[in-house]
Structure 1
Amino acid sequence: MSVELNHTIVHVKDRWAASRDVGQVLGLPEARAYGPFAELKLDNAASLDFMDSKGEIHGQHYAFLVGEEDFDLILGRLRDDGRQWWADPFKRRPHEINHEDGGRGLYWEGPDGHWLEIITRPYGSGG
């Protein structure tokens, strides 16, 4: 048996602005229209399906496993955009990276209060 995440819906105020923001930081191709969604495809064939929502949006957490080179590129984009990032989800270590499980990781605030993270090693992988 094989179970894989295929997609998740990300509730936002403006699906196109939010998908562009996340896609630009991660270095992904522009989202495409799919029904009421702006579908941002990830490299493992899963997608973030951004959907316009009215009312209060409750921020969610989205973590992305990236390679070492991609980590450097993403960090560079955050720096170039003058964005804030943290080594921890509690915002105690601004403009730092963590080294959990022998890799590197960081967090930043995405559109509409969503909390985004990149890691180079899966949690619990040791190191």
Structure 2
Amino acid sequence: MGELSYPKPEGVAPGNGYSQVVTGSGRWVAISGQVPFDADGELVGAGDAAAQAAQVFANLERCLAAAGATFADVVKLNFFVTDVAILPAVRVARDKYVDTAYPPASTAVQVTALFRPEILLEVEAYAIVAD
């Protein structure tokens, strides 16, 4: 794991379930947006935000492992959802993987559509791993 710190900026409200700032040193890892596909490229959880989120986070974990990283190294998550109403289900899945005492910085954006209409979310991750 890289050396990470979580400074608290003055004059900025604390994040609810995310950190406003995460810094660190080490090797930078960027994970492309992951969608709810299994290893065969089949959609998992059609119409089910919780099942899709679980698959997305499992995919992120596999991608991080391939880079020699874990969720403890993640400094930023970007969420793209077709409806912000699914964010509670996404947070449940996320909280199984991230340290909720020191969560990564995050951005959540509602989009009109993703590349296939049955996909409800896509999540990308950035990590810093010790050299």
TM-score with structure 2 setting the length:
0.25
Structure with more relative contact order (C-alpha pairs < 8 Å, separation 6 or more): 2
